[in-house]
Structure 1
Amino acid sequence: MFLKNVAPGIHLIQSHNVNCYLLEDDQGLTLVDAGLPRVWTELGHAIRELGRVPADLKALVLTHAHFDHVGVAAKLVEQLGISVYAHHEEVTLAAHPYRYAHENPVAAYPVQHPRAIPVLLSMVLGGAAVVKGVTVTRRLEAGQEVPVPGRPRVVLSAGHTYGHCALHLPQSDALITGDALVTLDPYTGLTGPRIVAKAATADSAMAIESLHALAQTGATVVLPGHGDPWLHGVGRAADEARRTGAA
């Protein structure tokens, strides 16, 4: 599914329960997160629906480097030669996207949370088992305005991974939260603002603490890595996520 202008100059590609975002300005396009491998065709369609061509895609910015966020990254580098931005703590994970820290075993979650089964199966069909690693070529720093189309500002939000970064776009009153704050937890199937379950989170206490940094942006529109956009303010979303805690 492709949704134009979920916030001004920000477009959503939602595929196999994973979200990617295209940032657009006069300088071209930036892709935020690279989904699963099967998003490739949808990404091409989205670029053309915007009246653009693949050469207009200037950079890939990763909120973090789990396998479901780097799916087409290597292919983009191979075919377009674009730069890949991520925090230095994500460099090793980007190269080896299945070697991620998590607090709880993954296998128990579909048994405990059967509503997650169709979500996880959809991700498998999206290519979750065949993701290639990618080399990070540019580093993100906390507070940095990234020199790419859209000019997002980095909000360090560690916990889901140790180098997780959200991206604030004040001109659009929007915050791309990646998996620091989602509205669908793939490991439980639960919806509404929350952090991702311990099956895929490195440090849930750190993730809860990072909600404060997200809330400080004051953004109205929250654009998560999984689930639908939240339009009621990041402060309220962060409060709900704290109350819910980690599954």
Structure 2
Amino acid sequence: MKQQTHRWQASSSTSEPSPGVFFVEGPASNWIVVRDETGFMIIDSGYPSDRPLFLESIRRLGLQPTDARALLITHGHVDHTGSAAYFSETYGTPVLCAPEELAHVQGREQHQVTFGQVIVRAWRPRVFRWMVHVIRSGALKAKPATEAQAWTADTLRNLPGKPEAVLLPGHTPGNVAILLPEAGAIAVGDSFVSGHPLSRTAGPQMLHPMFHTDPAQALAATHRLDEIDASVVLPGHGAALRRPLAEALETLRSRPSAPNPEGA
């Protein structure tokens, strides 16, 4: 796992699937930089150990981390909030999330997969390798973003890309997708993904049920995306999908509801 992180390079891991929208595939979790004439913001921030990579990816775009207008969090899992507390404390960056997710992001609630859920499956090679990566990534010592704030629609509209939040409960109570209407792109976080270390398949899919607070609700909530027009889908795990959201959702629903890592 350390070798994988060592080989990671911002140049080969960053793409611009829509103008001004930069998608960064981290070693195990993704983040997004959105830039326009008003500045830039970031969506999600990887694991705690991804911080040097996170900072490198921003600077490689000719931007300075201290200038980020906001860090938006799709949901409060540690592989998405890894640098949130650091940005808040070091740069004074507003860390924003859905009101329904605020207690989770601030660390006052927990909606994370439990150690027990993982350990009973750890004899499976894919699960064991993922568990080792999570531990090495600093997940067990992650610091909550205690100064995080709940966004409003007006707050979001005044940020680069004029983002709009779509509440998709089930993965966590306040899990969201973030639509970037001017770019025709949508960041779906873990509402669904295009790949994951526990999955043997690529393309639109739900995460394993153990990652969801309510797996049935998580799948049902994706119907809230049915009327949204987007031509690029940016997941929290896996590659960007340069295809219409409606098509991605159709593929998602044609598959089993969750990957089954060697019987896990």
TM-score by length of 1: 0.89
1 CA distance for matches of 2:40 and 2:174? 24
Matched, 1:52 2:66: no
Does the 8 Å contact 1:160/1:179 carry over to 2? yes
Q: 68, 77, 85: which one pairs with 1:74? A: 85
Q: Give the aligned partner of residue 203 of structure 1.
A: 214
Does the 8 Å contact 2:45/2:54 carry over to 1? no
Give the residue type in structure 1 aligned to 2:118.
V
Moved more, 13-22 or 60-69: 13-22
The alpha-carbon distance between structure 1 residues 136 and 164, as it changes in their structure 2 partners (threshold 3 A), is farther
Cα deviation per residue 1:76-112 (whole Å; 9 max; x = unaligned)?
1111001111112212211228821669923334445
1 CA distance for matches of 2:220 and 2:56? 38
Give the SS at the match of 2:22: strand
2 CA distance for matches of 1:144 and 1:187? 36
Q: 23, 44, 47: which one pairs with 2:34? A: 23
Cα deviation per residue 1:35-61 (whole Å; 9 max; x = unaligned)?
111221122222222112222211110
**Structure 1: segments with no counterpart, 5+ residues:** none
Give the SS at the match of 1:67: coil
2 CA distance for matches of 1:10 and 1:119? 29
**Structure 2: segments with no counterpart, 5+ residues:** 1-9, 260-264
Matched, 1:105 2:144: no
Does the 8 Å contact 1:187/1:199 carry over to 2? no
Which entry has the higher C-alpha Rg, 1 or 2?
Answer: 2
Give the residue type in structure 1 aligned to 2:83.
V
Percent identity over the alignment is 29
Does the 8 Å contact 2:66/2:93 carry over to 1? no
Cα deviation per residue 1:157-213 (whole Å; 9 max; x = unaligned)?
111011011011121111100000101234445432112111110111111112112
The alpha-carbon distance between structure 1 residues 97 and 231, as it changes in their structure 2 partners (threshold 3 A), is farther
**Count of residue correspondences:** 246
Moved more, 87-96 or 62-71: 87-96
Alignment of structure 1 residues 130-209 onto 2, 5 Å: 130-135=141-146, 137-140=148-151, 145-209=156-220
The alpha-carbon distance between structure 1 residues 189 and 92, as it changes in their structure 2 partners (threshold 3 A), is farther
More strand by share: 1
Give the SS at the match of 1:240: helix
Give the SS at the match of 1:154: strand
Does the 8 Å contact 2:73/2:80 carry over to 1? yes
Give the RMSD, CA atoms, in angstroms: 2.5
Q: Give the aligned partner of residue 245 of structure 1.
A: 257
More helix by share: 2
Note the C-alpha offset of 1:124.
3.0
The alpha-carbon distance between structure 1 residues 130 and 101, as it changes in their structure 2 partners (threshold 3 A), is closer
